[in-house]
């Protein structure tokens, strides 16, 4: 008698409707496509960033132009002399920095130059880069640092 009570009464479909699944996936896809910034440069210098506490975030990535300073990465994990890289090319002559940056500034007047300097570098080269940036008129800079993890 009891078994009759446990018998299923209705035969409703137990399937999750999957018709809208592609739409959901597409929504996610479009979100990630919009937020993605593909990395277009290979960094040829080593930049281990220093740590700091008083940091600010740069929200608008479109305004940022990167400038790397650090020892050259050579084959089999050796490192060479300190070099400066803008975009995907090493800067051979220091005087070119002002030209490159000046052109970037005309394209983007609100340009922020993110200085990604290796922490073992000497201030001399950083000062030279700063002087070049002042010549170019790109005065907004950001000394790229990692967030300090307090003990």
Partner 1 sequence: MAGLLKKKERLEAEIPTASMADIAFLLLIFFLVTTTIDVDTGIGMVLPPKLEEDVTPPPVRERNMLKILVDAQGRVLLEDQPSAVSLIREEVKKHVLNEGVDPRYSESPQKAIVSIKTARQTPYDAYIQVLDEVWMAYFEMWDAEARRLGYSNYSAYLEAIEQTGAENAVRSRIKAGISIAEPDAA
Residues near partner 1 (CB under 8 A): 18, 21-22, 25-26, 28-29, 32-33, 35-39, 50, 52-59, 61, 64, 112, 114-115, 117-124, 126-127, 130-131, 133-135, 137, 139-148
CA dist 74 to 5, 45, 94, 115, Å? 78, 9, 21, 22
Q: Which of 86, 90, 138 is nearest to 116 (CA)?
A: 86
Which residues, in sequence order, are bridge partners of residue 68? 85, 116
Q: Which is nearer to partner 1, 60 or 77 (CB)?
A: 60
Q: Which is nearer to partner 1, 28 or 75 (CB)?
A: 28
CA 22 vs. chain centroid, Å, equals 30
Least gap, CB of 25 to partner 1 (angstroms)? 4
Nearby residues of 65 by Cβ (< 8 Å), 6 or more positions away: 86, 87, 101, 104, 108, 111, 112, 113, 114
Q: Which is nearer to partner 1, 44 or 64 (CB)?
A: 64
Q: Which is nearer to partner 1, 2 or 38 (CB)?
A: 38
Least gap, CB of 89 to partner 1 (angstroms)? 21
Least gap, CB of 83 to partner 1 (angstroms)? 14
Least gap, CB of 122 to partner 1 (angstroms)? 5
Which residues, in sequence order, are bridge partners of residue 67? 86, 115
Q: Which is nearer to partner 1, 44 or 125 (CB)?
A: 125
**Could you give the CA distance from residue 29 to residue 8 in angstroms, rounded to a whole number?**
41
Least gap, CB of 37 to partner 1 (angstroms)? 6
């Amino acid at each position: 008698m009891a078994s009759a009570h446990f018998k299923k009464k209705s035969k409703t479909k137990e399937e999750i409707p999957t018709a809208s699944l592609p739409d959901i996936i597409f929504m996610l896809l479009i979100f990630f496509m919009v937020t993605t910034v593909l990395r277009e440069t290979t960094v040829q210098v080593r930049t281990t960033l220093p740590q700091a506490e008083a940091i600010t975030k740069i929200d608008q990535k479109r305004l940022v132009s990167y400038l790397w300073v650090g020892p050259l990465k050579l084959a089999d994990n050796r490192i060479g002399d300190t070099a400066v890289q803008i975009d995907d090319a090493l800067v051979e002559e220091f005087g070119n920095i002002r030209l490159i940056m000046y052109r970037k500034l005309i394209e983007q007047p609100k340009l922020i130059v993110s200085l990604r300097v290796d922490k073992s570098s000497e201030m001399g080269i950083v000062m030279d880069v700063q002087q070049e940036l002042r010549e170019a008129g790109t005065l907004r800079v950001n000394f790229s640092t990692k967030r300090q993890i307090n003990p």
